[in-house]
Amino acid sequence: MNAPAASADVRRANLSLVLRHIEAHGPCARTEIAAATGLAHASVTAMVADLAERGLVRETGAGAPGGRGRPRRLLRVVHGRVWTVAVQVTHDMIRLRATDLSGATVHTEDTPHGAPFGDPGPVAREIGSTVARAVEQAGGAHLGLVVIAVPGAVINGKVGHAIGLGWRTTDLTALVAAQLPHVDCPIEVVNEANMAALAEYHALTAEGATHPDTVVYVTAHAGVGGCLLIGGRVHHGSHGMAGEVGHVPVSLDGPPCRCGSRGCLNTYLRLQALTRAAGIPEGTGGPAPAAARAELNRRLRAGDERARAALDTAGHALGAALLAVASVTDAGEAILGGHLADWAPWLMPGIDARLIGRRTAIEHVRFAVSTGVLGADATLAGVVHVGREQVLAMPAGVPMYTSMTMPTLPEAGA
């Protein structure tokens, strides 16, 4: 790397450092920022001037007098300056949540997409429309990033295979960008289970939990999704598919799977497999899987033997898959997400029965099974977290104001 490029990188990193400090500790004075970050006072002053020109920070009153008796001017982040748009594509809905720099929700929209199986075009058009409506609401705020979570593996920025939607190798970023010719911000596509895993990991940490180095996350809806977290970060693997436990074989001659194999975890744990095993007729309470799920939930809580037996069998299958993953990765914790968290009381006996060998054969080996706390909102919470982190890491991506573009920003969330 040549010297000017390196120096520009250092400046960008310092700009982010100062912004993050004000966000975490503001209102605060320049002297406090210099002391906490180790940057020279003159450097902090220059960084603050830059952030102020981008509309990201502003002075807010004065604090107690500093060393020379002058009042210290305090700084705070202007949360409304940048919006991040998080989008989740499910098998039937597009869920959008726009947040400001504090992470507070400023705009939300849930739209059924009704898209035909196998065609990403209508979904991309619907995403474009919902994002365009969010942009209209943003007013003078800068749109920092659009992050779209999909139920499929993401390989080199493209959706490699979304079995539930019937998509193969889809450049969703390009399809959505084509719908938004006037929106000039990065658009990223990410895997939904990875986002949910990150969100649950941080939510459990906020509740006081500590995690081992390697954690596996499993969730189940129309299919089974998973993620491998190492050191609190998503481990993508060679093809972006690490932690995808749905097609781990748990029996050699089990039911046929949509992937062409037999006995995959997916064939025991996905919602339709559970409701079928519980004896709930297809279409119970309406056509949506949510109705069958609610019926299974009701039967479990009512003590229905067949429903509980279905969950026990699924628990054994999940335990076998977790044993395989733990054996290969030396994971020390599994987090169950989505409705697996709700149904953990009926899954745990089977899981524990499969893991007992690993837990007792080797002294010091711990394998904890935790339940997520965010339910159906985990994916969007994760996307919001990732989007905010990226904006805080790259404040130089927010344009400078000129006297012509200075808007009036709402004070809410500031």
Residues of this chain that bind Zn ion (CB under 5 A): 247, 257, 259, 261, 264
CB 299 within 8 A of CB 278: yes
Q: How far is the CB of 267 from Zn ion (least distance, A)?
A: 7
Nearer to Zn ion, 30 or 247 (CB): 247
Of all helices (H) and strands (E), which one includes residue 142? strand 142-150
Q: How far is the CB of 247 from Zn ion (least distance, A)?
A: 4
Nearer to Zn ion, 240 or 387 (CB): 240
DSSP string, 172-219: HHHHHHHH-TT--S-EEEEEHHHHHHHHHHHHHHHTT----SEEEEEE
Nearest by Cα to 17 from 5, 4, 34, 31: 34
Nearer to Zn ion, 97 or 247 (CB): 247
Q: How far is the CB of 289 from Zn ion (least distance, A)?
A: 19
Angle 333-337-342 (CA atoms, 0-180°, nearest 5)? 110
Nearer to Zn ion, 215 or 257 (CB): 257
Per-residue DSSP letter, 264: B
3-state class (DSSP) for residue 251: coil
The span from the CA of 76 to the CA of 338, in Å, is 37
CA dist list (Å): 346 to 219, 274, 318, 354: 15, 12, 12, 14
Q: How far is the CB of 323 from Zn ion (least distance, A)?
A: 18
3-state class (DSSP) for residue 19: helix
Nearer to Zn ion, 257 or 341 (CB): 257
Q: What are phi and psi of 353, to 5 degrees?
A: -60, -35
CB 165 within 8 A of CB 91: yes
Q: How far is the CB of 261 from Zn ion (least distance, A)?
A: 5
Nearest by Cα to 131 from 72, 77, 190, 173: 173
3-state class (DSSP) for residue 331: coil
Q: How far is the CB of 258 from Zn ion (least distance, A)?
A: 6
Q: How far is the CB of 321 from Zn ion (least distance, A)?
A: 11
Q: How far is the CB of 18 from Zn ion (least distance, A)?
A: 49
Nearer to Zn ion, 259 or 414 (CB): 259
Nearer to Zn ion, 249 or 375 (CB): 249
Place of tokens 């194999």: 261
Query: Bridge partners of 158?
Result: 155
Nearer to Zn ion, 67 or 260 (CB): 260
Q: How far is the CB of 262 from Zn ion (least distance, A)?
A: 8
Q: How far is CA 298 from the centre of its chain?
A: 29
Nearer to Zn ion, 197 or 257 (CB): 257
